[in-house]
Structure 1
Amino acid sequence: MTEVATLMAEQDAQRTQPTDLLILAAALVASAVLVWLASGEPLVAAGYGAGVLAFAALGRILLRPRSVGGTAEFAQPDWSVTNAAIDRPDAAVAITDRAGRLVCANRLFEEWFGMSSAPPRLPLDDAAVERLDRAARAAWRDGEASADGLEGAGRRWTAHARRSGRGEDYLAWTIEPVESTDIVADAARAVAGKAGLALGQAGICAAVVSPDGAILSANPGFALAATGEAQATVVGTDFVSYLRSDEQDRIYFAREGRKGAPQRLIHLPVADPESRTDADPALTPSLMLLIESGTGAGEGRAGIPQIEALLARLPLGLAMCDRDGRFLFANEAFLRAAGHDGTVAPPYPSDLVIRDDKGALADAVRRIAQGAPTAGDVAVRLRSAPEDPVSLSVAGVRGLGEGAVLLSLKDSSEEARLKRQIAQATKMQAVGQLAGGVAHDFNNVLTAIIGYCDLMLLRHSPGDSDYDDIVQIKANSNRAASLTRQLLAFSRQQTLRPQVLQLPDLVSEVSQLLKRLIGEKIKLVVSHDRDLGPIRADPTQIENVIINLAVNARDAMQGKSGEASGTLRLATRRITPADVRALKSEILPAGNYTALVIEDTGSGIPPENLGKIFEPFFTTKELGKGTGLGLSTVYGIVKQSGGFIFADSEVGKGTRFTVYLPVYSGTEVAAPPVAAPAQAQQTWSGGGRVLLVEDEDTVRAVAERALVRQGYVVTTAGDGEAGLEAIVSGGTFDLVLSDVVMPTMDGPTMARAIRERLPSIPVLFMSGYAEEQLRREIDLPNMHFLPKPFSVAQIGEAVERVLKGQSL
């Protein structure tokens, strides 16, 4: 920064003051000598000199400048403040006085123009200096003025001058650079952006080409036509290499050759229209537009624009092809049904199908296009879904200009999804039936193993050498029994004890257990909606549902270090019929539900596994860390309780399970206990006669030995007919203990026949099937149920309670 004019004035004043005083003193002495010589009187000369000195002193006193009021502070201006005010990073600022001298300037002015010149005399061309000179005169006259088009040193500026100062005796200049616009870069960005996409939707292929023929930018339409892939990279390649011409100078894309439609090439030089210099067209980049011949602006691509507009709005997937089998038009529904991810149709319909179906489809389209206007269906497999064949309808049309073939494709994604759901439901039902049958047969085997273990333990004390082995066999048998219970839960054949309950109360009871199960590093967040309706379910089984889902969530949040951390959210929600309709689910019927939501922040479930998680024995855990029955058990419990369960997951973000349990709207009425005859209650004192009917020899033998050891008189039968014969032949019994499923005559049929003769005899069924299911199928009073597998103690206790008239 400088203070040029002020410093020069101060230095001139300091240099001139002593010289002026010497000149004045010499003049005074000379004039006094002349007076003395003229008058001859030295006193007269002395008086003359004294008078001149007196008048000079008086004049100095009268003419000395004075400070007035508040103006004294401007006597010594602080130029650093001015310099700070004009220091701009984007413009040069300078201040000049009336003499055109530079008073001060900022750093940018010094960089651009130096400090040896002041506006308007800047180191610019003559035209720019003339414009600045006119602006300076106008500013002194009108207060401010501007000058544009200033050029010099390869740059351009615009200047503005404004009169300023207390006496408006300064000009403040602001000189700003004019940034040049790169029209080629702007055009390249537009073609590669939304403008190019819009051109592609209109069927126009666009590319910006450098003077040497290299592609600077291209829209997806050009890339698709040139390479067959809308996302292909063509920047930097030779534009001409993608084109071919025939003997009639018609232009085609090289990839399609003469089979493709001829193109009309429009060449637009990309140059600055404000530039005053005429650039050589050969050295100017160009915007190349390729439009199919006969499909330019104002020409209907399919012959009739109204029909094309109508087809675009229909929800059906429709497209048109010309006589060469090339796409003229395809609406969004057609492209969506075909699985095409772009907004512009590919050149040919065969580009949408797999390689094996290309020839058949192309032949069908060309045959119908060039022959009689017929119609037909072609079975093809789309590239987007090669495993699922679809039917493509092809119909010939005439009188629509270039349109010769109408294609119709139905969006079958929803139908395919429903088919997959039905197939999944059918598979789950079949697996459930298989699991139930396996569990039932396996329970018979486990009943015999557990029974014989109990009988052996009665003969061995804890100190015997075989005692520990027998205990280990029984423990493993009980573990196998728990697996069969899970299979029965999945197949919805387990025994439930449903009660009317409030879900939040059940969640509160199990929350304390969950905190110990999931660990300290996992945060448990529990929330409840208001006005939740009651549900009717087995509380123990619903607790199993919550625990199973929480444990799975804990395992999903386990990191690489082996320690689980994250957040487990457990919530109950009130679901109304309006909420169900908003879900748009074909599975969940409209109604009132109380929903249980369990959400974690774990690793999530991959999409390919999400449809299999409820299948038995399916697990993604390491070998030995899971049986694959946890979620299948949850599924069975929920289904058997009349509810629905859905899983939503995103890999890396977590999983959410939602259980919908229907709100119970009835009145809970406890079923009256079925009492044994009063006489039996009064006279019972232990012991009794039992008719044991079981088709499995090992189970029958275990049950017989267990009851005989407890003092009962047991008569055995191998099937229902033999059991009924024991009654018909005159046998008297206090209890019938029977299996349910037996050959020739099953247990319920035998029990009904026995009740015709002995209406009051109690019946105790033992089976691996669910009690609730049996009670629906067997409508008999005074009927009891003992689930398999059972131990020796359990069968003895059950028989005793039934004979005493007590419920199990």
Structure 2
Amino acid sequence: MKDAATGLDPLAAEAVAQPAPVREVLLIALAVLASAGALWLVTGQPVIAAAFAGGVIVVALLVRLGFALRPEPELPEFASPDWSVTHAAIESDAQAVAITDRAGRLVCANSRFTEVFGSSPPPRLALDKPGSDAAEESARKAWRDGAAQVERVLATSGGEWTLSVQRIGRGEDHLVWRLAALMRQDIVAEVVGHLAGKLGRALGREGIPSAVVAPDGQVLGANRTFALRAAGDENAPIAGTDFVDYFRSDEHDRIHFAREGSRGAAVRLVHVPVADPDKQGSTDPGQTASLFLLVEAESGVGDARAGLPQIEALLSRLPLGLAMCDRDGRFLFANPAFLRAAGHDDPNVPPPYPSDLVIREDKGALADAVRRYAQGAPTAGDVAVRLRSAPEEPVSLSLAGVRGLGEGAVLLSLKDSSEETRLKREIAQATKMQAVGQLAGGVAHDFNNVLTAIIGYCDLMLMRHTPGDSDYDDIQQIKANSNRAASLTRQLLAFSRQQTLRPEVLQLPDVVAEVSTLLKRLIGEKITLEVTHDRDLGAVRADPVQLEQVLLNLAVNARDAMSGNGGPIAAKGAAGILRLITRRVTAADVRAMKSEILPIGDYTALIVEDTGHGIKPNQIGKIFEPFFTTKEKGKGTGLGLSTVYGIVKQSGGFIFAESEVGKGTRFTIYLPVHIPDPADAAEAQAAKPKKQPAREWTGGGRVLLVEDEDTVRAVAERALARQGYEVTTAADGEDGLEALSRVLGAGGDFDLVVSDVVMPSMDGPSMAREIRRLKPDLPVLFMSGYAEEQLRRDIDIPNMHFLAKPFSVAQIVTAVEDVLRGR
């Protein structure tokens, strides 16, 4: 309560405003009067004495006035004690709390104190004799030192307590007594409760069944993993059953769950006594409960990471990409093969997390997968991710949960698919090239028909014009350009592997020697030609003319690559080396190459290598495509390498290109070694048609001309008619058969059938077979833009002859004459 007059606490107001004692005032007044009297006696002047006394009185009054006018000091405000608030503050069920004053009176106590000890003030508590003595000693020590504590006192009502005493208050005139009951812990019940909670689930996540067993063998509690393996249901009532009933031993004394039998994994029991560690020395082991941890018999106990370094050392040497993660998804280690397959920059230091290796869109899925396999029972699976090093091509990352390797929880496996990706790309390229080749062959075949008509009509027109005529030069120009177009169609046929080849058994060094002189003139003096031949080269079967064309095309490309920018060789500073190498490649060498494209066998390789500017990586997969070129406009048609590819493939070989920008390019051609078979040679000689003897032929004859293209048919008819042949024409195979039947029915005959191969309704070979039933000895001359070798292989008709399109008037006349003469 504050004083109404001063606004201060009553104690502070009394200290400031209370007047001095009357006795002290009287003593001061007597002293002043004595001093004035003594002054009067000495001076004999009463006025001086009165002036002295009056001056002292005035000074005293001024001092009194000064103290009265001085500002009052601001003293702290203290509320008077409100014991209801204090009682609410100390209310607690865990402790008995009481407050006593200096006289030992009980000022305040909580409900717990009055419930146990009543209203007796401390230290007069209901304690045993040693407890009471300890309480009194604690009170004295608290008044002296400020605090005291007793570890254990015994209450007369039963139970043990801890006692603490503390001195408090503004005047430090109160003591706070706190008493807390000593609880008796049931460690067995606590362990059973933990197995039913998070501890049991954590052990189950690691695949460790656990159970608490009483001394009499009864199960007191178990985790869900134990219930699942022991009873087949994780919620089965296990408590109260006999622990040993859940196990059986086999003939090797290995312990199995009785429900699983020998098909289940053998287990080993790790025994942990459940006893108070503070009383371990005085506890009988036979009277304590036991915690049993069941681990697989093959797994070790102790330092779970003891064998992990050896496992890391083993996995680091494997070619398969393997890595290990902990339960938090962090990398523990990753072998170099894994980091190479993942495209990581540093092959020795893995990133912190596996998700750091994939693109942003796949980070969450991979992190969830790792976390999922790190928990629960060990399982395995795959997840498709896209690596940062190759975001366009998903890869399969294998994950497997593992247990018993300490911190290791998930094993990751990643196959280095760079070689597989390269092979897929090559196979796709080969498939695309085959499709483009078929298209190019069809286009070339149709274009050959057009060129045959153009060249034929030019020949017919030239027969009516002589040199010097105004139209003669124009016709010759048309024919020249037609022949140039014919050469382009031959390149398309070479690319599509449908041109006519004349294969021979030959040695590659002989072909290189034949073309070396021409190559030196072609590449010029600035470029050095180096030729190297291996020993014991196997013979190959190919067309030497076409192989020379392959070398010429590759040499021209090499020359342009070493010229600087694909143009003519500069006058200064331009130089390079063109190497032609022949090499023997055995089946063992091919097997060591591990190529999915090159079949295992013996080959003779032809290598064309230059030191030019190289081919960019994004272009090397397109160099064999028709009309693809990196040269300037007008400097190349883009058919050179496609022609090379077609010739090599038609010869049964394989061609590969390797290049490094700024260092050069290497083309390697593998041609299979030709191994002659005597039996096949004898059979081929026996099956070879006997050469027909030359017939008496003086010119002329009847010819059946079958061609579906009107212009080609008209040119061929006029060309043969001009030479004196009697020509009967037909638009397709059915018309040809009708014409033959009509002539034969009228008693006539034909000396020769000239027919196209591909025709609507009935093609040329089908018509020829029907004609042979009527006239077995009638010769047939086929006209086609496809390869003769392929046609002979597909048609297989005796006494069959071939004329390649496009042809001139003179060529068809000569071919017909040769057939009729029996050549």
Conserved in 2, the CA contact under 8 Å of 1:323 and 1:405? yes
Shift of 1:345: 1.3
Conserved in 1, the CA contact under 8 Å of 2:737 and 2:771? yes
Query: Given the superposition, is the C-alpha separation of residues 407 and 570 from structure 1 closer, same or farther in structure 2, using an over 3 Å criterion?
Result: closer
**Separation in 2 of the partners of 1:594 and 1:607?**
27
Conserved in 1, the CA contact under 8 Å of 2:305 and 2:405? no
1:696 aligns with: 709
1:393 aligns with: 398
Shift of 1:775: 0.5
2:125 aligns with: none
1:339 aligns with: 343
| 2:619 partner SS | helix
Corresponding position: 1:558 with 2:566: no
Larger Rg: 2
2:30 aligns with: none
**Separation in 1 of the partners of 2:479 and 2:688?**
34
Decide which of 478, 486, 493 is 1:481's aligned counterpart.
Answer: 486
1:369 aligns with: 374
1:522 aligns with: 527
Query: Given the superposition, is the C-alpha separation of residues 580 and 362 from structure 1 closer, same or farther in structure 2, using an over 3 Å criterion?
Result: closer
2:643 aligns with: 633
1:226 aligns with: none
Corresponding position: 1:681 with 2:685: no
| 2:631 partner SS | coil
Decide which of 587, 599, 603 is 1:577's aligned counterpart.
Answer: 587
| 2:521 partner SS | helix
Corresponding position: 1:462 with 2:467: yes
Q: Cα deviation per residue 1:631-658 (whole Å; 9 max; x = unaligned)?
A: 1111111221222222222222222222
Conserved in 2, the CA contact under 8 Å of 1:302 and 1:329? no
Instruction: Select between 651-660 and 787-796 the one with higher mean Cα deviation.
Output: 651-660
Query: Given the superposition, is the C-alpha separation of residues 410 and 571 from structure 1 closer, same or farther in structure 2, using an over 3 Å criterion?
Result: closer
1:648 aligns with: 658
Corresponding position: 1:409 with 2:423: no
Shift of 1:722: 0.9
**Separation in 1 of the partners of 2:472 and 2:780?**
36
1:778 aligns with: 795
Aligned length: 507
**Separation in 2 of the partners of 1:510 and 1:398?**
69
2:438 aligns with: 433
2:258 aligns with: none
Query: Given the superposition, is the C-alpha separation of residues 523 and 408 from structure 1 closer, same or farther in structure 2, using an over 3 Å criterion?
Result: closer
Query: Given the superposition, is the C-alpha separation of residues 762 and 302 from structure 1 closer, same or farther in structure 2, using an over 3 Å criterion?
Result: farther
Query: Given the superposition, is the C-alpha separation of residues 528 and 374 from structure 1 closer, same or farther in structure 2, using an over 3 Å criterion?
Result: closer
- 1:794 corresponds to which letter in structure 2? Q
1:168 aligns with: none
| 2:796 partner SS | coil
2:601 aligns with: 591
2:751 aligns with: 734
1:145-544 maps to which residues of 2 (within 5 A)?
A: 304-342=308-346, 343-369=348-374, 374-544=379-549
| 1:484 partner SS | helix
Corresponding position: 1:663 with 2:673: yes
**Separation in 2 of the partners of 1:341 and 1:748?**
63
1:594-609 maps to which residues of 2 (within 5 A)?
A: 594-609=604-619
**Separation in 1 of the partners of 2:781 and 2:499?**
17
Shift of 1:544: 0.8
Shift of 1:788: 0.5
Decide which of 760, 772, 775 is 1:758's aligned counterpart.
Answer: 775
**Separation in 2 of the partners of 1:385 and 1:302?**
37
Decide which of 781, 784, 803 is 2:820's aligned counterpart.
Answer: 803
- 2:670 corresponds to which letter in structure 1? Y
Instruction: Select between 775-784 and 642-651 the one with higher mean Cα deviation.
Output: 642-651
- TM-score, length-scaled by structure 1: 0.59
| 1:524 partner SS | strand
Shift of 1:618: 1.3
1:716 aligns with: 729
Q: Quick one: percent identity of the two aligned structures?
A: 81
Conserved in 2, the CA contact under 8 Å of 1:302 and 1:308? no
Q: Cα deviation per residue 1:30-83 (whole Å; 9 max; x = unaligned)?
A: xxxxxxxxxxxxxxxxxxxxxxxxxxxxxxxxxxxxxxxxxxxxxxxxxxxxxx
- 2:382 corresponds to which letter in structure 1? D
| 2:580 partner SS | strand
Query: Given the superposition, is the C-alpha separation of residues 354 and 698 from structure 1 closer, same or farther in structure 2, using an over 3 Å criterion?
Result: same
Q: Cα deviation per residue 1:112-146 (whole Å; 9 max; x = unaligned)?
A: xxxxxxxxxxxxxxxxxxxxxxxxxxxxxxxxxxx
Query: Given the superposition, is the C-alpha separation of residues 302 and 330 from structure 1 closer, same or farther in structure 2, using an over 3 Å criterion?
Result: farther
**Separation in 1 of the partners of 2:533 and 2:627?**
33
Conserved in 1, the CA contact under 8 Å of 2:304 and 2:404? no
Shift of 1:370: 5.0
1:50-89 maps to which residues of 2 (within 5 A)?
A: none
Shift of 1:500: 2.4
**Separation in 2 of the partners of 1:611 and 1:549?**
17
Decide which of 743, 768, 772 is 2:785's aligned counterpart.
Answer: 768
Shift of 1:623: 0.8
Shift of 1:381: 0.2
2:243 aligns with: none
**Uncovered stretches (5+) of structure 2, i.e. residues with no partner:** 1-301
Conserved in 1, the CA contact under 8 Å of 2:558 and 2:578? yes
Query: Given the superposition, is the C-alpha separation of residues 450 and 302 from structure 1 closer, same or farther in structure 2, using an over 3 Å criterion?
Result: farther
**Separation in 1 of the partners of 2:570 and 2:306?**
64
